[in-house]
Structure 1
Amino acid sequence: MTESRHLSVCIDRPLSEVYAFASDPQNLPRWAPGLGSAVERDGDGWFVETSQGRVGLTFAPQNEFGVLDHVVRTPSGETVYVPLRAIADGDGCEVVFTLRRGPGMTDAELERDTALVTADLAQLKQVVEGR
C-alpha cells in the first residue's frame, strides 16, 4: 500500500465559491505556481508549461460534491492520479489534498513535495479569501 499524507487548509468562503475557482484550470497559476504557468486547453485536456516540459492535465467533470481530482501526465509519460476535495464546513470549506509517496521517492523528496503542496494550499486560501 502506498503511503499517503492528507494536507488541508480551511478557507473562509463558501464551498461553491472555492470549488468554482479551484476547478477552473486557467486559475492554476494563481494558486499552484509550482505546477507551472501558461495553461492552455487542447481538445478535452489541458496542458501546463513546467520547468520539466509540457505536462498534461485531465480534471474530474464538474460536480456538486467538491471533487477536484485530476490526472497529471509528465513529459516522461508517467501518469499521476491526484485526489483533491473541497468539503463544506459551515459557511466555509476545507480543501484536502492527498499526497502519495511515489515509487522510489525518498523521505527528503516526500518532505519537499509536502512543503510545496502546503504552500499551494495556503496560496489558494489567500487568493480565494482575498477575492
Structure 2
Amino acid sequence: MPTNLLITHTRSIAIAAPTEKVFALVSDPNALPSWAPGFARAIRRDGEHWVVENDQGEARIIVRSSADHGTVDILNAGNPSQGAFTRVLPNGDGSEYQFTTQFPPDAPEEAVSAQLLVIEEELRTIRELCE
C-alpha cells in the first residue's frame, strides 16, 4: 500500500449558465486573474506553458483542456501529475463545476482548510461571472 498518497479534496458549485459558457471561462488561461486572483494576479504565455504571478512570485503551469470531456486541468509544469483537476458538467439547464485539488500528505490541516476556503470563493466568482 503506497504511503505517499496526496490528500485530495473536491468542491463543486451549481451555475445557472450553459456548460459552454462556463467551460469557455475556466478553460481560458487569460481569464485566471478574473476568478483566481490569489493564484494568478497576472498570467502570460511562455512557449507551451503559462507563467502565473502571485504573492509568492512566479510559477509555471500547464493548462490542459478538453471541450469534448468538459475537463480543464491546471497543472504544475515541473510535475504535471499535481495541480487542480476540474470538470464542467451539465446540470439541468445549467452547469456544475467540480474542482479537485491535491495537497502533500504532510500538509498542515489549517493550510488545507484555508486553501479550500479560497477555492470556494473562486467557485462563487466563476458563478457570478457566468450567470
- TM-score band by shorter chain is 0.7 to 0.9
Q: How many residues align?
A: 126
2:91 pairs with one of 64, 89, 95: 89
Q: Residue 44 of structure 1: CA displacement?
A: 1.2
Which stretches in structure 1 are left out of the alignment for 5+ residues? none
Give 3-state SS (helix, strand or coil) of 2:71's partner.
Answer: coil
Aligned to 1:120: 122
The share of aligned pairs that are identical, in percent, is: 29
Task: Please tell me the root mean square deviation across aligned C-alpha atoms, in Å.
Answer: 1.6
Alpha carbons 2:65, 2:73 under 8 Å: kept? no
Give 3-state SS (helix, strand or coil) of 2:97's partner.
Answer: strand
**Equivalent residue letter for 1:90:** G
Give 3-state SS (helix, strand or coil) of 1:69's partner.
Answer: strand
**Equivalent residue letter for 1:89:** N
Give 3-state SS (helix, strand or coil) of 1:34's partner.
Answer: coil
In the aligned structure 2, how far is the partner of 1:78 from the partner of 1:69?
A: 13
In the aligned structure 2, how far is the partner of 1:27 from the partner of 1:64?
A: 20
Taking structure 2 as the reference length, the TM-score comes to 0.87
Aligned to 1:100: 102
Residue 61 (structure 2) pairs with residue 57 (structure 1): yes
In the aligned structure 2, how far is the partner of 1:69 from the partner of 1:43?
A: 18
Mapping for residues 11-22 of structure 1, pairs under 5 Å: 11-22=15-26
Q: Report which of the two has the higher share of strand.
A: 2
Taking structure 1 as the reference length, the TM-score comes to 0.87
Residue 33 (structure 2) pairs with residue 67 (structure 1): no
